[in-house]
Amino acid sequence: MTDTRVPDIALINLGFLLALKDAVMRNPVLACQEFRLHPADAAVVRDLTFDRLESLALGLDGPIVTLRYTGRDLRDLVTTHPALRSVFAGVRALVEERPGRPGQSRPGNRALHPAS
């Protein structure tokens, strides 16, 4: 029998890719907002077969997605009352800035802009 262990990173990548594809299949518009995809990118994801997703997941040395929360943000989210967690996460998403890409328009960008 051969050793068929799959690296943890590959399992994480495959899980993310499967969730992404499932979201695109169910509701492409919502998936574009949640995953910050361009509609053309969502169409490519929609057409990927399981074999292609698996091949991509197994072929990467690192994670395809990183947790967007810093340690403190994650700790605050975990310690927040369960009824307020989605509010906390939503507020954080509104004020999130991407380094090197200020002011760029992108699907799902809900950044707060200063009042004029």
Q: What is the pTM of this model?
A: 0.59
Domain spans of the chain, in order of start = 8-59, 67-116
Report d(CA 45, CA 25) in Å as an integer: 9
Residues in CB range of 14: below 8 A, 6 or more apart? 53, 54, 57, 58
Q: Which fold has domain 8-59?
A: Flagellar transcriptional activator fold (1.10.4000)
Distance of CA 52 to the CA centre of its chain: 19
Tell me: the pLDDT tens digits for 38-60? 999 999 999 999 999 999 888 88
Tell me: the pLDDT tens digits for 62-86? 788 766 666 677 677 778 888 887 7
